[in-house]
Amino acid sequence: MIHETAQIHPSAVIEDGVKIGANVTVGPFTYIAKDVEIGDGNEIMSHVVIKGPTTIGKDNRIFPYAIIGEECQDKKYNGEPTRVEIGDRNVIRESVQIHRGTVQDKGVTIVGNDNLLCVNAHVAHDVVIGDHTHIGNNSILGGHVTVGDHAGVMALSAIHPFCTVGAYSYVGGCSAVVQDVPPYVLAQGNHATPFGLNIVGLQRNGFEKPELHALRRAYKEIYRSGKTQAEVKPVLEEMAKDWPSVGLFLDMLNHTTRGIIR
């Protein structure tokens, strides 16, 4: 079903069963396969490929040569009807690839709201991207990666499968991340190591000095106190009573499977 206000270029190929909402534009030579649902207000430019099952929310901008919902590059994938879910107001630039999930995990690759995915970024199977993230040019998110809200992964960086990039963290360009990046942390290098807090990003997102001081103390407990993680956790629990944001550090220490960067 295609809404009457949608503008579809005559050269675009839209298979039967596609749902396209109001005020959507589809550019020339774009291909949209069956089992795709596109919400209102999306701008889909030329030469885009969208396969399903895929759902796309509202007011996204999808630039030329982006490929969404294609089969994943996992050898275990055997044609199962896994899917992609994309939220609202994302900017998906040229040649970005977003692959479907696998039945061995969640079966879905998720991109939240208000994200910027830059040229040729690769979002592999079962990745979960939160809201307000920045995924840089030619960056690679391996399978099963999680990127928290307001995080940044800069150009030419690669995130190893099953790693987590915590909320408000920042991975500098040309980095190789093979363990989890805690929230709020600035990481850089091959292999990536921590370089303190992402102060600029935190300030831009409204963190005030008292809270920044609390996060800095938590960072020092983790990285500079000489304590084990078991010894650090009770300290963070006490701090989190006054500063709930410290709880994100604690959540990562409690749930990491690959360990945190050191």
Domain encompassing residue 93: 7-144
> Do 128 and 41 share a domain, yes or no?
yes
Q: Taking 90 as the threshold, does the pLDDT of residue 4 lie above it?
A: yes
Smallest Cα–Cα separation from 92: which of 124, 128, 67, 55?
67
- The model's confidence at residue 52, banded by pLDDT at 50, 70 and 90, is confident
Q: Is residue 163 part of a domain?
A: no
3-state SS assignment for residue 86 = strand
Catalytic, out of 122, 125, 132, 144:
125
- Cβ-based neighbour number of residue 238 at 10 Å: 9
Q: Residue 220 is inside which H or E element, if any?
A: helix 209-223
Q: Is residue 18 part of a domain?
A: yes
> Do 135 and 33 share a domain, yes or no?
yes
Active site residue 126: yes
pLDDT tens readout for residues 20-42: 999 999 999 999 999 999 999 99
- The model's confidence at residue 248, banded by pLDDT at 50, 70 and 90, is very high
192-197 and 49-50 beta bridge pairing: unpaired
> Do 112 and 207 share a domain, yes or no?
no
AA identity, residue 120 = N
Compute the distance between CA of residue 217 and CA of residue 72 in angstroms, rounded to an integer.
Answer: 42
Active site residue 9: no
Which CATH number fits the domain that encloses residue 32?
2.160.10.10
Q: Is residue 151 part of a domain?
A: no
What is the mean pLDDT of the segment spanning 152-169?
98
Q: Is residue 135 part of a domain?
A: yes
Beta bridge partners of 153: 135, 171
pLDDT tens readout for residues 174-201: 999 999 999 999 999 999 999 999 999 9
pLDDT tens readout for residues 105-160: 999 999 999 999 999 999 999 999 999 999 999 999 999 999 999 999 999 999 99
> Do 121 and 223 share a domain, yes or no?
no
Q: Is residue 14 part of a domain?
A: yes
List of residues 6+ apart from 75 with CB closer than 8 A: none
Query: Which of 121, 144, 167 is the C-terminal boundary of a domain?
Result: 144
Which CATH number fits the domain that encloses residue 209?
1.20.1180.10
Catalytic, out of 74, 88, 126, 180:
126
Q: Which residue has the tokens 């005030």?
A: 208
36-38 and 19-20 beta bridge pairing: parallel
Active site residue 47: no
Compute the distance between CA of residue 56 and CA of residue 59 in angstroms, rounded to an integer.
Answer: 9
Query: Which of 101, 118, 144 is the C-terminal boundary of a domain?
Result: 144
Catalytic, out of 143, 148, 152, 201:
143
Q: Is residue 153 part of a domain?
A: no
Q: Are 51 and 69 in contact (CB under 8 A)?
A: yes
pLDDT tens readout for residues 80-100: 999 999 999 999 999 999 999
Q: Is residue 131 part of a domain?
A: yes
Q: Is residue 215 part of a domain?
A: yes
pTM of this structure? 0.97
List of residues 6+ apart from 157 with CB closer than 8 A: 136, 139, 140, 171, 172, 173, 174, 175, 176, 177
Domain count, the chain: 2
> Do 17 and 104 share a domain, yes or no?
yes
3-state SS assignment for residue 248 = helix
